[in-house]
Structures are given as C-alpha cells and as structure tokens.
Amino acid sequence: MSSESNVQSRVRLEAQSRGWRLWRNNRGAGQMASGNHVRYGLANDSKQLGDVLKSGDLIGWRPVVITPDMVGKCLAQFVSVECKGTDSRTDRGRLEAQQHWADLVNREGGYAVFVSEPEKL
C-alpha cells in the first residue's frame, strides 16, 4: 500500500527526471487573522465552483516539441496530476469533480492524469 503523500513524492521525482516542472497545488479555504475569508488553489474561486471542479494535486508543465510545420519550437504544455494512494478512498462527489477538472484540461489541450504509480505519468 502506498499513501497519497508517498505517491506524490515519487511522481515529483519521476516528473523532474522527464524535465517537467510540477508544484503542489494546495486547495482550501479559511479565515485570516483579520477575519477575512480566503480561498486558495486553482479553480477554487467559490464553494459552488469548488464543489464541481477540483484541480489536481500537482500543477505545472511539460516541454513539448512542436512539429516542423509549427516552426519546431518547444512549448510548455499545462499539466495537472492527481495523485492517488493505493490506500486512498475518495468520495464519489470529490472524484467526479476531480474528473471534471481533468476532462477540461485535456479537452483544452493540456495533459491531466490520475496516477498511483510514477511510471503512469
């Protein structure tokens, strides 16, 4: 059994070896000392949005070489990785919201995956 934290650490090492740049995407909400309410993390502008769209644990990019008909430049492709421990249990609503995010990223030309093993990147 691998915890989500263990999977995430191994995924980050594998991504680095591939030349990818990934950062932890903490999501949540809380109250500041001033009393102001703050939301943080991608796609967490409101509770309503956060209930249906949950961005991945790791966010960044991977280098993609564009084909010669596109001038041969290398571009950064947006990447979202949702890490799942082999021992993790995600409730259905959260899993659906995470899948909606992955579908959106992939539909718009990014690369979003769920992984429990770094090799699956």
Query: Is residue 112 within 8 Å of 83, Cβ to Cβ?
Result: no
Q: How far is residue 86's CA from residue 1's CA, in Å, rounded to a whole number?
A: 5
What per-residue confidence (pLDDT) applies to 11? 95
Strand partners, 59: 23, 80
Domain holding 67, by residue range, is 4-120
Count of domains observed in the chain: 1
Please give the average pLDDT of every successive group of 10 residues along the chain, which has 121 residues: 90 96 95 96 93 95 86 87 84 92 95 93 91
The answer for residues whose C-beta is within 8 angstroms of residue 6's C-beta and 6 or more apart is 85
Strand partners, 65: 74
CA distances to 77, 83, 97 from 102, in Å: 14, 12, 9
Q: Which phi and psi (to 5°) does residue 92 adopt?
A: -55, -45
Query: Is residue 106 within 8 Å of 100, Cβ to Cβ?
Result: no
What per-residue confidence (pLDDT) applies to 66? 81
What per-residue confidence (pLDDT) applies to 88? 72
CATH number at residue 74: 3.40.1350
Query: Is residue 45 within 8 Å of 19, Cβ to Cβ?
Result: no
